[in-house]
Amino acid sequence: MEWLVRQVKDEVLKVSGCVEGAMPFRYLGIPINPSKLSKKECQIMADNILDKIRCFGTRKLSYGGRLSLVNFVLTGLYSYWANIFLIPNGVLRKIDAYCRNYLWDGSSDYSRAHMVKWEWVCSPKREGGLGVKYSLDWNVAAIGKLVWWIYTKPDSLWVKRVNQICIKGVDWASYQPKTHMGWNLKTICKVKDLMQPSYSMGQWTANPKGYRIHEGYHWIRTKQQPIGWYKLVWHSRCLPKHRFLIWLIMRNALNVKDKLFRHGICLDDLCCLCGTASETGVHLFHQCVYSQGLVAGMASFIHIPVPSANAII
């Protein structure tokens, strides 16, 4: 039997002009492997992110510049992988750490305390965050696309193989993998059970046109109440570094004297401008007499109205 298989394979290679290879191999920078990707193989993705961070100019960029690179470059790398593979959670946590450290310190290593929790950073801007994708939830949402494919049964060789060899006519909504099944199918089934409430009769209820990864991501993540100062911070005419600074002020994350005094760094917490009250973020930018006079003078010079502090807060 083996000689017959070998003969057919040789004929196919001769007719097609192809060359016989071996697993694993790399295609478009991605390791192709018939089994589960190991952490060592996924290290290629982590190394690519580190190389990008080293090429970004590190600490020379402002917070706003780093945020743009995290949102559009670093998260794009693992999003591309997540659309193809099931990535181990340990690798995703490492990638989150790289992005978090780069945002706050301009390097991939942890060297200073982060000013805002990563959970808040990964919240949408309308909910008081920065809109960075949380890699663990995004990976689950990407796996959700495979769940939807099995529901809808498109003309795909992978879907046909899963239905004929693994599911074998069992209702996908109630299907549970057997113990000898692989890690990939078991992970897909876990996501299927997690997202079961979002399906009705095998259809994705959030969008009648079909499943979208970003819709699945927003369905999975923990939602917060919208904030009232969203438009104030993310104004289209505001520079990125100014947006980030205003966002830190509204999140009360600046290292003002009130915080430094509690940590024993300053001798007192009095405002460095007026010297009459504790220097908090709200006081420094909205309540300080000196700051109010400075803002009023600038507004009068450029002829624009100044909203009251209570209206902003």
**Contact 63/244 with Cβ under 8 angstroms?**
yes
Segment 134-171, tens digit of pLDDT: 988 998 999 899 899 988 888 888 888 888 888 888 88
Which residues fall within 8 angstroms of residue 207, CB to CB, at 6 or more apart?
215
Alpha helices in the chain (DSSP H): 2-16, 39-55, 63-69, 75-82, 89-105, 118-121, 135-152, 157-161, 183-194, 213-220, 230-233, 240-250, 257-262, 281-282, 289-302, 309-312
**Encoded tokens for 159:** 């879907």
| Predicted confidence (pLDDT) at residue 58 exceeds the cutoff of 80 | no
Gyration radius of the chain over CA positions: 26
Q: How confident is the model at residue 130 (pLDDT cuts 50, 70, 90)?
A: very high
Of 115-124, 221-230, 260-269, minimum mean pLDDT range: 260-269
Q: Would the pLDDT of 268 be above 70?
A: yes
Answer for the pair 220, 137: CB distance below 8 angstroms, yes or no.
yes
255, 155 contact by CB (below 8 A) = no
pTM, entire model: 0.78
DSSP reduced 3-state for 200: strand
DSSP assignment of 15-55: HH------SSEEETTEEE-SSPPPHHHHHHHHHHHHHHHHH
Average pLDDT score over residue span 272-289: 83
Q: Which two tokens stand for residue 286?
A: 């909205």
Contact indicator for 162, 153 with CB cutoff of 8 Å? no
C-alpha–C-alpha distance, residues 265 and 251, integer Å? 22
Q: What is the pLDDT of residue 281?
A: 79
User: CB under 8 Å to 272, separation ≥6 — which residues?
Assistant: 257, 279
Confidence of residue 7 (pLDDT cuts 50, 70, 90): confident
Question: What type of residue sits at position 45?
Answer: M
Answer for the pair 102, 53: CB distance below 8 angstroms, yes or no.
Answer: yes
